[in-house]
A and B are shown apart, each in its own frame.
Chain A
Amino acid sequence: MNKLQFKPVGLMIISVLIAIVILLIEVFLTGSKDGSFLLTLSFWITLVQGTVAVAAAADVSQGKWAEPLKKELFAFYPLILFTAVIYLILSFHMDIYKWTAKPGRWLNPSFFIIRNFFLILLTFVLAHFYIRASLRGSKSKGVLAVLYIFAFVASQSFVAFDWIMSLEFPWMSTMFGPIFFMESFYAGLALGGIIAAYFIVRKIGETSAITKVLRDMATFMFGFALAWAGLYYGQFLVIWYGNIPWETSYFGIRMNHGPFNILLYLIIFILFIIPFVTFIPKKIKVSPAWVSFISVLVLIGILLERIFYILPVVPVNVIAVVIEFVVIGFLFVLFFVNRNQIIKSPA
């Protein structure tokens, strides 16, 4: 781990290099009608924004449960800026959206890129000021946490409505946004669970305090599993009951054709049934092995859900996705290892 220690400038240079690697992959390895980058970005932005949202929610509710892991949850926040920068690569892939053939006032390529870029940037700026206030214990941290959560909700809703839902324009579902920002929070909790389990196994920090965090993360995931199922079912039920052909076609494509129908049941199993049933016993909630296993499973479930949304509409280059996941995953590990550097000197 010591070999991975870098100063903030070093981390910045590595981030830029990784952004260039992703740019090269997207320019040379994938075509303009390829959804690989959208898949990669829609997953990682969910995780990185959700992690800060978990800490912000704890601050807003004056909850002390996230306190022992706050620094770790904050460590990933510069990656919001990273996602904002690499988001611009999506401008090479605008052909994946059918509406680009006939752009409108809202759905036109330049406005699409600009509004989403500035929204991600806004979440980064608010995260930066909120984290600074939170670390100083300033009174303004509550207000800044609320502002961050508003920006986070807006940004994740735009990820849902603009990035993913508009792939199938004119199909629409008003539940898409809430599902996305709820999933983002779910992903943040899962990452928190993994970190807490890692700390307990490695005996970093005060084990009894971290065990409480682990239990709280597991309890929250238990609740969010039910909330996720509720929202997802709410979206499905309305479309199923309405039975309007242009609405039902979305589920028709996915539920009547393999492997997407299997994928749907797998997602329900991973994001709802497994966490809900497994986290009922108290002992499981304080077991690092179980919590980390379920947390990893939840993250896989969210990735599968992104695949479920994107793959039926646009092709995905598996090699490109794997490389991008490895490099961004490496960046996550790097920021986690260097958390003390990042929190000491916020970027």
Chain B
Amino acid sequence: MSNKFVFEEKEKFLHKLEEVVKSGVSAKDIEIFTPYPVHEAEEVLKLKTSPLRFFTLLGALSGLIFGFLFTIGTSIDWPLIRGGKPIVAIPAFIIVAFELTVLFGGVISFIGFLILSKLPDVKRIIDPEEYGNQFIILIAKEGRK
């Protein structure tokens, strides 16, 4: 069982969240649901920065490097002069490198998200309660004082 607080307004929700944290409840025992990202809540809960960004960085850099290596490699392997341009024509390869940066960054971020969230986990995906536009604070029973 847990203690539940329901709010219609963000300010009231944040105020209560601050109160709960100040009362000594550990951030681990607090679960929040918001209709949109509320960055202030992260600040109140003093959550550690997620290592997800390193997955994104790794993906983006690998996409960028692969984009250039792929285009340069295939051009050198099968050299065809097009429109009087050099075989290794960097301005044209930037587009491929950029697209692969975004693609790899996105896909590896998603994979990183699944790993960090320990997903797929059907029990955790399906939440029997739907909160709509409300702001919710759930405190695990052990966390209550």
Contact = CB atoms under 8 A, between A and B. Distances in A.
Interface in A203-239: 233, 236-237
Interface in A221-271: 233, 236-237, 240-241, 243
Contacts of A233: 94
A237 B92 contact: yes
Contact of B83 (A236, A237, A241): A241
A283 to B, nearest CB: 10
B91 A236 contact: yes
B84 interface: yes
B84 A237 contact: no
Which secondary structure dominates where chain A touches chain B? helix
A281 to B, nearest CB: 9
Nearest to A233: B94
Contacts of B91: 236-237, 240-241
A233 B90 CA distance: 12
A10 B83 CA distance: 62
Interface residues of A, number: 6
Contacts of B95: 237
A237 B96 CA distance: 13
A233 to B, nearest CB: 7
A240 B95 CA distance: 14
Interface string B82-106: 0111000001101100000000000
A241 B92 contact: yes
Nearest to B42: A282
Contacts of A241: 83, 85, 91-92
A240 B84 CA distance: 11
Contacts of B84: 243
Contacts of A240: 91
B102 to A, nearest CB: 11
Contacts of A237: 91-92, 94-95
A240 B85 CA distance: 9
Given A240-B91, A243-B85, 12 more contacts: A233-B94, A236-B91, A237-B91, A237-B92, A237-B94, A237-B95, A241-B83, A241-B85, A241-B91, A241-B92, A243-B83, A243-B84
Q: Which 6 A-B pairs have the closest CB atoms?
A: A240-B91, A237-B91, A243-B84, A243-B83, A241-B83, A233-B94
